[in-house]
Each structure stands twice: as C-alpha cells, then as structure tokens.
Chain A
Amino acid sequence: MDKHDGRSAGEPGAVRLDDPWYDALAPGWAESAGAADAAGREGDAGEPLTVGGPRDSGIPPGEIYLAVHRSGAFQEVRRRYRSFVVPATLAFLVWYLAYVVAAIAAPGLMARPLVGAFNVAMAAGLGQFATTFLLAWAYMRHARLRRDRAALEIRWETQELTGGNTR
C-alpha cells in the first residue's frame, strides 16, 4: 500500500519505455466516465479521467479505484483474463481428478496395454505432463498478447489519478 517506498528500485527501465502517459487514452475511458456519471457520484465526469492531476480530476480519492473498476477498459481486461482462466482451470482440474479417480476406481481400464509394456495409465500420466506444458504455454501467450498492454495502460492511468506516479 505504500506508494513511495522502494519504487525506484522496483521499476525496470523496460516498462518505462511503454509509458502510456504520452499515448492516446486506453479504449473505454470515455465509457467509464459516463458510467460513473450515471451512477451520480461525480461532478465533472464528462472530462476524460486522465486530464489533470489527482486534484483536478474531480474524482474523490476514495472512489478512484471504483471508477477504474467500472471503466470499460478494465472490464475488458478482466473479461479477457476470466474467459481464459475459468475454462482452463476447470478443464485441467477435471482432467487431473479424472486421472486420480480412474487410478483408484478403474484400475483394470488403466492397466490395459497399448503398445508393448506401455499401458493406458502410463499414457494418461504422460498426457498430464503434456497438457500441463501446453496449457502453461497457451496461458502465457494469451496474457502477453491479449492482456499485458491494456493492463499496463490502466496501471499508469490509475497511478496518475492516485498520485502514485510522482516520485
């Protein structure tokens, strides 16, 4: 929670190159302001959130995260995260539990030979390794291509509002 402590040590130069402070607004910021206005919590919600510092953005400090949370940009990042993570987590948990339960409930099926000494149980075990590698790779790729950029933009804009970018 402490915004001033250790930040200079914690930020790598590479991230700063991407500083979206000089970029266009993240998609959906206008919607966010509109949504906040509809909720009746803000005075000058028609202004884009990034204009001005924390003092003249018109959002009370306690509501900055609520406003960001309601913004379309954030909802989109969260939707992308969940649309990958929820089905993938369910899939690998079900597959792993099925593998464990099959070993204790259907040992006969698992013992059926496939090629030589290689049987269903061994194939399923190697399959667990393979799916783990595959899902890990897919997740990292999805996060890198579909989430990182948008999340970083929201991060900088949020910190601009909270005053966290000043050092």
Chain B
Amino acid sequence: MTGGHETLALTLVSAFIALTLAITLWAGRRRRGSVEEFYAGGRLFSPMENGFAIAGDYMSAASFLGVTGLIALFGYDGLLYSVGFLVAWLLVLFLVAELVRNCGRFTLADVVAARMRERPVRIAVGAASVTVSVLYLVAQMVGAGSLVALLLGGAGPQARTWMVIGVGALMVVYVAFGGMRATTWIQVVKAVLLLGGAVALTVLVVIRFHGDLGALLTTAAERSGHGRAFLAPGLKYGGDWTARLDFLSLGLALVLGTAGLPHILSRFYTVPTARAARRSVGWSIGLIGGFYLMTVVLGFGAAAVVGSDAVRASNPAGNTAVPLLAVDLGGGAGSTGGTVLFAVVAAVAFATILAVVAGITLASSSVAHDLYASLRRPRGTVRDAQRREVAVARLAAVAVGAVAIALALLAQDLNIAFLVGLAFAVAASANVPALLYALFWRRFTTRGAVWSVYGGLVPALTLVVLSPVVSGGPESLFPHLDFAVFPLSNPGAVSIPLGFLMGWLGTLLSPEAADPARHAETEVRALTGAGAV
C-alpha cells in the first residue's frame, strides 16, 4: 500500500483524538466533583442520547472488524454472532434495565447488595466486575495493536507496543478528567461515526450489486470457494461435537452475558428515571439491530467483492475484511477513492476502540464506589467523603488502565473475538445469576449471592486456563506446554449453570433466612421506582 492512506488515516485519527480531548476538557470544566457527576454524569441525559451512548459502548471493534471478518470467512456461521449480540438485549430490556435503574445508585453491586450484608457481597461483585472489565479492555487494546499494524503496514512490534500504551494513556485522561459526562458524549460521537461509516459502506455494496441481495449472496458463495455450503451452518462449527458444543457455549455466553457487563449496566444511571432507561434501551436496540444487519451485508459483501481467499491472505482471522472491502469499493488499491475510504474505515475503527476503552475504564473505576466508599468508616463531612471517593475512583481508573496495558502487551497474539467472548462468559457466569436472583428470588440470601458470584467466576477463569486457548495447540498462548484438560474454548456451557447452581445451593445452606421486609422493599422499589435516586 502507498503512504497516502496512512497519512490520511493518521490525520483523521488525530482529528478524532483532538475532538474527544476537547469534549473531555469541556465536560471537565463544569464538573463540581460530586460522585453523582463522576459516575452518572449528573443523571440528566435524554433517552436518545443515552441510547446512542449504549450503542456506542456495545458496538466494539470486535463487532465491526471481527464479526464481519468471520462472516467473510465462514459465511453463515459468522452471522450467528450478529444474532446473539442483538437478541441478548431483550433480556436486558425485560428483566434488567428498569429494575436496575430503580434499585441501585451507580453499579451492579448496589443492586445485589441492597438486601444483603453489604461487605461480602460488595467485595464479591466488585471483584467480578473488575475482572470482566479488564478482560474486555484487554480485547479492545489488542484490537488497537492489530489495527495499527494494518495501518502502518510494515511497522514492527515496537509500534504496536507504543500504540497500546498510547491508547491506555488516552483513556486514563478521558476518565480521570472527564468522568461519565465526557465519556457519554465521546460514545455518542463515536456511535454516529461508526453507524455513518457502516451505512456508507453498506450502500456502496448494495449499489455494486444493483440492489439485488440474491446476487450478492450467490456471488459471495461462489467466490468463497465453498459454494452453497457458505450460506448454511457448519463451516466453522460443523466439525466434531466438541466444536459444536463450543458454539453452543458461545451462544449461551453471548445471550446471557450482556446483562452482566458492568459498563453497560452503569449506563442506565445516566438518565433520570427507569422509564428513561427503558426508552434508552429501545433506542439502542434499534441502533444495534441496524448495525448488526449491516455487518451481515458487509461480511457477505467482503466475501463477494474481495473474495474469502484474499481476506484470509491479509489476516488469517479475517479482521481486515472491512478495510479491504473499503479499498475495493472506493475503486481499488492506489485509486483516490480507495485510499480515502480505507482511511475513513481505519479511523472509524480506531475511534471505536478508544471510545469503548473509555467506557469500560470508567465502569471499572466504580470499584472505588463498590469497595472503598462502602467499606470504609465515614469520616468528616459528606462532601469531603464524596470528594475523596472521586479521587480514589480516578486512581482506580489509572490502576485498571495500567493492568490492562500490561496484560494487552502480553496477549498481543490472542484473538480479539475470543477475548470478548470470554468477557461475556465471565459476566454471564458471575454477575448475571446473582443479579437475577437478587431481583426475582424472594429467598435469596447473602451466602447465596457470594456463592453464586464466586461459583461462576472461579470455574469460568479456571476452565479458560485449562482450555486449548492457553496451552496444548499451535495457536495457544503457551504452545509448548500442554495442560489443556478442558476441550471447549468458551467456558460458558459449564460455568453459567454452575453460577446459578451455586447461588441456589448457597441460599439453601444459608444459616439465616432471607428478610421478607427487605425483599418487599426491593420489589416495590424495582417495579415502581419508590426511593430511587
């Protein structure tokens, strides 16, 4: 590739960084230093703004680059990701969004701990939330590393290292200086950019095939080298039953995990009421659904226009399918149109990574709220305590950022989509059972909550360590060691049921019974919003 697209792409990326820093400064200027402001942006966003921000938080680079790449390589089997990522939102809309908005103040732990003894529950849920956030962050930063490798062509591993460090430093600046208000606006801008880019490419694909989607599918099937099998299940997950079970495991993690992602849950607190939270989820379902429909067109478009073999030659995991498609749609390599479109797509993907990273870091800084503020004995005035909590949250953002940078540097060769799937699996195993039990099960107790969190978290992490992802295969993290006794690469099928089972068992074996008055309070508050902040 020529130097032209690099210069243009870097210019666009720099413009986006400048814009986001301006937003951060502008949002930080009006800050008064309260916790409400830092974690929830003052709770005064409109449902539409928050809907865009939720969509921005959710549509990560793994979707834009990863899912389209999987569709371009494996056809129909990649499409199953798009479906799972969207259907999960029904669970959030029906069972989680309004109730969580009504019961909590800033985080998941607020909701689960409301009926329980606070200390053990907050420690457990806080630890699980930070684990999920760090895994998700590592995935995004590995994505940033891959993207820069693509952008700078022949740049060596050093450029990737500096890129990861640069992204990490930027996100700490966003969060530490801007808080939730800046992060939300960055998400809104990013969602608009990403949707605009996806719409433009989709329109170009449809025009290329004169509006005939049947011709698009037929051409994609022909150029994939698989014929009709490309449009049917089985290319990626159709092998032995281990591979098929692995897919079921991933499907389960995707549909249940969204409801336990800390950075998504904390978004519901940026709007004034549960009704507004519901409407923001409505907006985000529309936006996210539209986006994933477009990823289907773009994935098959890449197979039809670029060809599966050319995609695979550029990146074996398919992560570069959309940038390659952009070059082709713009008029081919070397043409002005191709250069411009490629630069735009690269810049949009980079903006996506930055924004998601900022959102997750903010969510993980709320560990300061879960652990520090609730567990320490209050001292001085309320205002002093709040100021101290925000200071600790900023420090936590820096610390989480540093840990994620270090892990991302170690994990640079891991697959992005896998890491995201893993974060979903851990969220579905550790957070979702405790959250659903706390909201809907009258007899749920403190011991049940603690057992369900650790009963999901520990098996999920252990099974990953024992899976072929870490050892035993040529593509493993440690290819020379072999302690892979667990055959599936996604632990969801085992660890999610375990999380639910342990919550049930812990409740049965509890020394004390659940307090009916506190359950009544939770239910009344959850469904009516009485006493909600």
Contact with A along B7-40 (1 / 0, CB 8 A): 0000000000000000000000000001010000
In the bound complex, residues from chain B placing their C-beta under 8 Å from that of A119 are: 228, 231-232
Task: Kindly state whether residue A101 has any CB partner on chain B within 8 Å.
Answer: yes
**Closest CB in chain B relative to A37 CB, distance in Å:** 17
Residue pair B217, A100 in contact (C-beta under 8 Å): no
A107 and B238 in contact (CB under 8 A), knowing A65-B521, A132-B87, A132-B90?
A: yes
Residue pair A129, B83 in contact (C-beta under 8 Å): yes
- The number of residues on chain A lying at the interface, defined by a beta carbon within 8 Å of a beta carbon of chain B, is 67
Residue pair A65, B272 in contact (C-beta under 8 Å): no
**Closest CB in chain A relative to B450 CB, distance in Å:** 20
Complex CA distance for A116 and B18, rounded to whole angstroms: 49
Task: Kindly state whether residue B279 has any CB partner on chain A within 8 Å.
Answer: yes
A111 and B228 in contact (CB under 8 A), knowing A117-B214, A121-B76, A128-B87?
A: yes
Residue pair A154, B524 in contact (C-beta under 8 Å): yes
Residue pair A121, B93 in contact (C-beta under 8 Å): no
In the bound complex, residues from chain A placing their C-beta under 8 Å from that of B520 are: 65-66, 68-70
Interface stretch among B162-170, B243-251, B413-421? Answer: B243-251
Residue pair B94, A62 in contact (C-beta under 8 Å): no
Residue pair A132, B86 in contact (C-beta under 8 Å): yes
Residue pair A164, B91 in contact (C-beta under 8 Å): no
Task: Kindly state whether residue B508 has any CB partner on chain A within 8 Å.
Answer: no
In the bound complex, residues from chain B placing their C-beta under 8 Å from that of A164 are: 530-531
**Closest CB in chain A relative to B108 CB, distance in Å:** 16
Q: Which listed residue, B382, B530, B532, touches A154 by the CB 8 Å rule?
A: B530
In the bound complex, residues from chain A placing their C-beta under 8 Å from that of B94 are: 85, 88-89, 139
Q: Which listed residue, B89, B286, B296, B516, touches A66 by the CB 8 Å rule?
A: B516
> How many residue pairs between the two chains, A and B, have CB atoms under 8 Å in the bound complex?
196
Complex CA distance for A92 and B90, rounded to whole angstroms: 8
Residue pair A6, B34 in contact (C-beta under 8 Å): yes
A104 and B247 in contact (CB under 8 A), knowing A69-B524, A85-B94, A139-B94?
A: yes
Q: Which listed residue, B90, B248, B278, touches A89 by the CB 8 Å rule?
A: B90
Complex CA distance for A140 and B80, rounded to whole angstroms: 26
User: Which residue, B114, B238, B278, B530, has most C-beta atoms of chain A within 10 A?
Assistant: B530
In the bound complex, residues from chain B placing their C-beta under 8 Å from that of A47 are: none
In the bound complex, residues from chain A placing their C-beta under 8 Å from that of B530 are: 65, 68, 154-155, 158-159, 162, 164
Complex CA distance for A68 and B274, rounded to whole angstroms: 19
Task: Kindly state whether residue B202 has any CB partner on chain A within 8 Å.
Answer: no
Q: Which listed residue, B43, B114, B234, B247, touches A9 by the CB 8 Å rule?
A: B43
Task: Kindly state whether residue B486 has any CB partner on chain A within 8 Å.
Answer: no
In the bound complex, residues from chain A placing their C-beta under 8 Å from that of B218 are: 116-117
Residue pair B248, A101 in contact (C-beta under 8 Å): yes
**Closest CB in chain A relative to B112 CB, distance in Å:** 14
**Closest CB in chain B relative to A79 CB, distance in Å:** 11
In the bound complex, residues from chain A placing their C-beta under 8 Å from that of B89 are: 132, 136
In the bound complex, residues from chain A placing their C-beta under 8 Å from that of B531 are: 1, 3, 158-159, 162, 164
Contact with A along B88-110 (1 / 0, CB 8 A): 01110111001000000100000
Complex CA distance for A155 and B527, rounded to whole angstroms: 9
**Closest CB in chain A relative to B327 CB, distance in Å:** 26
In the bound complex, residues from chain A placing their C-beta under 8 Å from that of B238 are: 104, 107
In the bound complex, residues from chain A placing their C-beta under 8 Å from that of B93 are: 136, 139-140
Complex CA distance for A15 and B281, rounded to whole angstroms: 20
A129 and B86 in contact (CB under 8 A), knowing A6-B34, A69-B523, A155-B528?
A: yes
Residue pair B237, A89 in contact (C-beta under 8 Å): no
* A19-48 interface with B by 8 A CB criterion: none
A129 and B528 in contact (CB under 8 A), knowing A92-B90, A116-B214?
A: no
Residue pair B517, A65 in contact (C-beta under 8 Å): yes
Task: Kindly state whether residue B44 has any CB partner on chain A within 8 Å.
Answer: yes
Task: Kindly state whether residue B324 has any CB partner on chain A within 8 Å.
Answer: no
In the bound complex, residues from chain A placing their C-beta under 8 Å from that of B228 are: 111, 113, 117, 119
Residue pair A155, B247 in contact (C-beta under 8 Å): no
* B507-533 interface with A by 8 A CB criterion: 516-517, 520-521, 523-525, 527-533
Residue pair A78, B527 in contact (C-beta under 8 Å): yes
* B220-277 interface with A by 8 A CB criterion: 221, 228-229, 231-234, 237-238, 244-245, 247-248, 251, 255, 272-273, 275-276
Q: Which listed residue, B79, B105, B289, B527, touches A81 by the CB 8 Å rule?
A: B527
Complex CA distance for A103 and B248, rounded to whole angstroms: 10
Residue pair B533, A7 in contact (C-beta under 8 Å): yes
Q: Knowing that A115-B214, A122-B217, A132-B87 are A-B contacts, what are 9 other residue pairs whose CB atoms are under 8 Å apart, sorted by A's residue number?
A: A6-B533, A15-B273, A69-B521, A81-B527, A101-B248, A129-B83, A132-B90, A154-B528, A158-B531
Give the interface of A toward B (CB within 8 A). Answer: 1-3, 5-7, 9-12, 15, 62-63, 65-66, 68-70, 74, 77-78, 81, 85, 88-89, 92-93, 96-97, 99-101, 103-105, 107, 110-111, 113, 115-119, 121-122, 125, 128-129, 132-133, 135-137, 139-140, 143-144, 148, 151-152, 154-155, 158-159, 162, 164
Q: What are some 19 contacts across the A-B interface (CB < 8 A)?
A: A1-B531, A6-B43, A9-B36, A65-B520, A89-B91, A100-B247, A103-B247, A111-B233, A117-B217, A119-B228, A119-B232, A125-B82, A129-B86, A132-B90, A135-B90, A143-B278, A144-B275, A155-B532, A162-B531
Give the interface of B toward A (CB within 8 A). Answer: 34, 36, 42-44, 76-77, 79-80, 82-84, 86-87, 89-91, 93-95, 98, 105, 114, 214, 217-218, 221, 228-229, 231-234, 237-238, 244-245, 247-248, 251, 255, 272-273, 275-276, 278-279, 281-282, 285-286, 289, 292-293, 296, 382, 516-517, 520-521, 523-525, 527-533
Closest 3 pairs between A and B when the two form their complex, measured CB to CB: A111-B232, A69-B520, A158-B530
